[in-house]
Amino acid sequence: MSNFIVNQNHPLIPREQTYVLDRKLISFHSVDRDIKQWSFANQFEITLPTPLENIQSMRLVNISLPSNQYVFSNEYQNTKFNFSVDVSGTINSHDVTIDPGSYTPTQLATEVQNKMNKAVQTYYTYNYDPSFADISDYNNFVCKYNKIANTFWFGNDGSWGLRTDHKQGWGQFALNFHIKMPYTISCQQKEVWAHYTKWGFPAYLGYERKKYTATPTPHNLQFPQVGFPDAAPDGIGGPFGFDYEMTDYSSINGGYWLTDISKAAQNWYVDISNSKCNLDIMGEDWIYMEVDKYNTMDEIEPYSENTAAFYNNDYNGKVDSAFAKIPVQCTAFSHIYDSNQAFLSNISHYHPPIERISKLKFKFRYHDGRLVDFKWQPLSFVIEFNLLRDEIPKAMSLRVPPSYVYH
């Protein structure tokens, strides 16, 4: 029988662990980074002014981003394409590089048209041939945006060949969209060629990764017997336009986008009106912000092709891949301002609480992994840290002020 006394009149009262929720706001600017270590604002690391301890939750309170995220950029590998064209019986291929930036559909049509004509002029200027003495006047390529179908068309009127003995086929061209164009990009940037959307410049125009060969413009009742005797008769290869633009059928310029002023040269064009794709030059809708080690948002890996198969299944869900999802909701070349009172609704809870944070590493990307190209424009944001502070033992409970209430 035990001699120990186990009963007592004054039992021990366990201490109740009570905490107060303390909020700490830290403002970050892209100019705070070490520029020698982090050349670009889309990825950088910052040491906090003072280490934080017992972090129960974090959230992005507000952010200001430059909205000059170019739709077309060397970093996004979507500024180049290759084409070939018959210039007076000589066929050569040419590379085109458009200027980086954001375009309206009509601006893009003008840019592509000018660059294609310039490529031909430059090639024959540097590869001089007496028969091409006036190649600087070459202006045969015409590009047009079909605003009804939201498609992008290419055409060539073949008229430059009239300066020599014209033959059927001069002005015919091919869009070599199956050719992978070379790019020099930053080491952290993701390559896009293998994607089935946004794999290069042609994809933004609604084209597929293949070669498109131009054909003569179709029969035009308003212009019969157009062309040379050895060319296709009955209006094939004559002036060509979209039906909704036809405002003056009696005039050769009455709404036609590909005109045959001489009524002699043959027009060639590429038509994708039956394509599965449309022109897509609006840019991205969302930017994903990563905070290394502290992400809590999950994503689905894009561009899967074999998710139903038992073998070689390429489905991939990404766990804790992002910290916040930021909408891009304004016009180009301005600033995006957002806060948790508007469109930001992210908050990350940590259990158990994070013991200590002394520095943070940020990354800004799109859903497909491409890093955002901010073009050296500054960005800034505020992160809220909710800290657990151990209270002195008192008969009190935690009260959360209204400003701390999560929306």
168-222: pLDDT as tens digits: 567 889 999 999 999 998 888 999 999 988 999 999 999 999 999 998 888 776 6
Structure tokens at 56: 């129960």
Give yes or no for residue 348 having a pLDDT over 70: yes
Pick the CATH number of 19-69+284-404 from 2.115.10, 1.10.10, 2.60.120, 2.60.40: 2.60.120
**Mean pLDDT computed over 13-22:** 72
- Which CA distances in Å does 148 have to 128, 152, 186, 243, 258? 42, 11, 38, 10, 17
CB burial string 368-403: b at 16+ within 10 A, e below? ebbbbbbeeeebebbbbbbbbeeeeeeeeeeeeeee
50-62: pLDDT as tens digits: 999 999 999 999 8
Percentage of the chain modeled with pLDDT above 70: 77
**Mean pLDDT computed over 78-106:** 92
Give yes or no for residue 345 having a pLDDT over 80: no
Give yes or no for residue 229 having a pLDDT over 60: no
The rounded distance, in Å, linking the Cα atoms of 310 and 292 is: 33
Give yes or no for residue 85 having a pLDDT over 70: yes
263-295: pLDDT as tens digits: 566 788 887 766 677 899 988 888 999 999 999
Give yes or no for residue 333 having a pLDDT over 60: no
- Which CA distances in Å does 281 have to 165, 174, 333, 354? 41, 23, 15, 42
Give yes or no for residue 335 having a pLDDT over 90: no
133-174: pLDDT as tens digits: 678 888 889 999 998 889 999 999 887 765 555 555 678 899
**Mean pLDDT computed over 223-252:** 64
Give yes or no for residue 12 having a pLDDT over 90: no
Is the pTM for the entire model greater than 0.85? Answer: no
pLDDT interval class at 308 (50, 70, 90): confident
Q: Chain-wide mean pLDDT for the chain?
A: 82
Every domain of the chain with CATH number 2.60.120 lies at 19-69+284-404
